[in-house]
A = this chain, B = another copy of it.
Amino acid sequence: MSASHPDFDAGIAADLLERLRRTAPRVHCITNAVAQHFTANVLLALGAVPSMTIAPDEVAAFAAGADALLVNLGTLDDTRRDAIPKALEAAKAAGKPFVLDPVFVNRTPVRCSYAQDLLTASPTVLRANRDELAALYPGQDPLEALSRTSVTLAITGAEDLITGPGQTLRLANGHPLLARVTATGCAGGAVIAAFLAVSDDPVLAAAAALTVFNVAGEMAAERARGPGTLVPELLDALYLIDEVQIAGRLKRV
């Protein structure tokens, strides 16, 4: 681990969370139709301010006025396809971080090739699972390919791997019931964007984001009877979570 990076721990996660709640960063989300409502509620519960418009002639103003941008490809219709490059360009021109979440690129070649183009814009964080990475980098080792770039990679799954310039972290918080609720992964990408808005270190921001989200998921799962009651409990936990709970549950591996 490079000496230039402070080591990730619960104190760092809690400090960034406190900064997020105090500064209420704006996060513009171009995300899929299924995830929009839940993602907005996750950001609000956490203390960020979401906006969600996908109109191509408006996204540049929203992205430039936001503190971070999320681009999620879950439902990639023509309007979103037109809007995404405009939002990216505006965010980059304004020096704002952005997260790319290439949902389901392993399911259609059209979407995969669209996502490969977006990668050339160097997202601050690429959030993906292993199947999506394999589709994006056919015949290559994705980690090796990305190690030659400035992109921080967050591979999410039962265990999360976060790797960026100079630092690699493995985290193991979360709960299986989260996979029985739609858009929890997509909302996790928005939480990474919110933390990027309050930190210059993408590895620490992504680690703090996934830790806060997944620890809140554990707290919620203990109170829930199933995936239905998990949703309100998760939003409450994101609103209520504090450093003591993060410290008591953080699992690095």
Q: Residues on A close to B: CB < 8 A?
A: 32-38, 40-41, 44-45, 50-55, 57-58, 61-62, 65, 74-79, 104, 107-111, 179-183, 224-240
Contacts and interface: CB of A to CB of B under 8 A. Distances in A.
Q: Which 10 residue pairs across A and B have the least CB separation, nearest first?
A: A228-B235, A226-B236, A228-B232, A40-B182, A226-B239, A228-B236, A61-B108, A229-B232, A225-B236, A58-B108
Contacts of A41: 181-182, 227-228, 231
Given A53-B76, A55-B75, A236-B229, A107 B33 contact: no
B75 A45 contact: no
B79 A77 contact: yes
Given A182-B37, A233-B228, A53 B104 contact: yes
Contacts of A229: 232-233, 235-236
Given A52-B34, A75-B53, A77-B55, A232 B231 contact: yes
A74 B224 CA distance: 32
Given A54-B77, A107-B61, A183 B40 contact: yes
Contacts of A36: 33-34
A51 B183 contact: no
Interface of A is mostly: helix
A62 B236 contact: no
A108 to B, nearest CB: 4
Nearest to A45: B227
B44 A227 contact: yes
Nearest to A57: B110
A78 B78 CA distance: 11
A237 B228 CA distance: 8
11 contacts: A33-B33, A33-B54, A34-B37, A34-B40, A45-B180, A45-B226, A55-B75, A57-B110, A65-B107, A226-B240, A227-B235
A54 B65 CA distance: 28
Given A35-B37, A41-B181, A226-B238, 10 more contacts: A33-B33, A37-B37, A37-B182, A44-B227, A54-B77, A65-B107, A77-B79, A180-B239, A227-B236, A228-B239
Contacts of A108: 57-58, 61-62
A181 B239 CA distance: 11
A181 B50 CA distance: 11
